Amino acid sequence: MLALQKTHDGEGLELRDVPRPPAPGPGEIALKIAATGICGTDLGIQKWNPGYAAMMNPALPVTLGHETVGRVTALGEGVQAFAIGDAVVVNPAIACGECAACVEGDAVGCLDRRPFGMVLDGAFAGAVNVDARYAYHLPDHVPLELGALVEPLSVGLHALNVAGYNPGDRVVVFGPGPIGQGVAVLAKQMGSQVAVVGFRDAVRFDTLRELGIEQLFDASEEGAMDRLKALAGRGFDLAVEAAGVGSVVDQALAVLRPKGVLSLAGMGEPNAAVNIGLVVRNRLEIRGASRIPPAVWPEVIKLLAADPQAFAPLISHRMKLADAQEAFALAKSGQSSKILLIPEE
């Protein structure tokens, strides 16, 4: 079968013909992949940004793809929670089960994770076996391809939860890419007024309008930040940084209410300057959002199932797995939202 793989230490990805997976082992389910989204992480692995080599080199060659949905085609020994034909999504954060954190029962804090699509073979392929403990049912009425959004939406919901989100809170999102769009639509679906700040992101703003997000601010425009401040009034309850841009941190802090929280979900530039006086005076908090607790998955699936069409505009392109290189170039261009790769076999 065709698979998109990282094959060697260095830049690049390869489409390769690889053997189909064997029959699922004990506790595993076999999936026929329906669709898999391209993530910023996949772009980072293609470019081979610092940090990936240490974790991934021992696993190469490995099939990428961790934002996936598929149907169960076979059950390994002992699997009772699934039946053949079920639509499922996969939580890629596979814990090792052996490290000090795992032994203490903190699988989310695993010190030696084996992420699906980075260390374990992922879903940019026609089929894959996964540990059934990391699979979740997608309700039948949800269009199958929307299942590929559950993983990036879980990143978004976690970013809100980390900030102590309460339904109805006033939220500002910095960064209108797929993660920021997910945060915005989730908060909207939970009753929030949401503003989104971008930087020359016309195409992504169009998607946000389709998602029903009207308060859009282009930071490259004169006076945009003043208009955001005016909208904020006494301040937003929370902000999410999903741009990975250092200068955004101070912009976000400046529009929070006293005791407001900034949740950092983006990783790009390593450092940011912070107005310490503002943080101290307004008792602001900055929190990092990674390591998604498993409980977030059912929450996301519930929100998606309640109104699937509200999330549909997040998918901007569907392309063949065979056209993966072209799809990755499009994902890098910023002229897309979520791009799905569809295997043909």
Residue 112 or 323 with smaller CB distance to Zn ion = 112
Residue 182 or 235 with smaller CB distance to Zn ion = 182
Closest-approach residue to Zn ion (CB): 39
Residue 102 or 157 with smaller CB distance to Zn ion = 102
Binding site for Zn ion (CB under 5 A): 39, 41, 95-96, 99, 102, 110, 112
Which residue in 268, 271, 263, 308 sits closest to 287, CA to CA?
263
Minimum CB separation of residue 152 from Zn ion in Å reads 5
Minimum CB separation of residue 69 from Zn ion in Å reads 13
Residue 95 or 261 with smaller CB distance to Zn ion = 95
Residue 51 or 258 with smaller CB distance to Zn ion = 51
Residue 124: C-alpha distances to residues 38, 46, 114, 290 (Å): 9, 13, 17, 23
The DSSP 8-state label assigned to residue 162 in this structure reads H
Cβ atoms of 117 and 128 within 8 Å: the answer is no
Residue with tokens 């929100």: 303
Minimum CB separation of residue 71 from Zn ion in Å reads 21
Minimum CB separation of residue 150 from Zn ion in Å reads 11
Minimum CB separation of residue 122 from Zn ion in Å reads 10
Name the region of 240 (left: φ>0; alpha: ψ -120 to 50; beta: rest). beta
Minimum CB separation of residue 182 from Zn ion in Å reads 10
Minimum CB separation of residue 290 from Zn ion in Å reads 12
E-state strands within the chain: 2-6, 14-17, 28-37, 62-63, 67-75, 87-90, 127-131, 135-137, 171-174, 194-198, 215-218, 236-241, 256-264, 285-288, 315-320, 338-342
The whole-angstrom separation of Cα 15 and Cα 321 is 9
Residue 152 or 260 with smaller CB distance to Zn ion = 152
Minimum CB separation of residue 70 from Zn ion in Å reads 16
3-class DSSP state of 21: coil
Residue 102 or 252 with smaller CB distance to Zn ion = 102
Which residue in 178, 177, 108, 173 sits closest to 150, CA to CA?
178
Residue 114 or 287 with smaller CB distance to Zn ion = 114
Residue with tokens 């949401």: 194
The whole-angstrom separation of Cα 69 and Cα 342 is 10
CA atoms within 13 A on the CB side of 134: 27
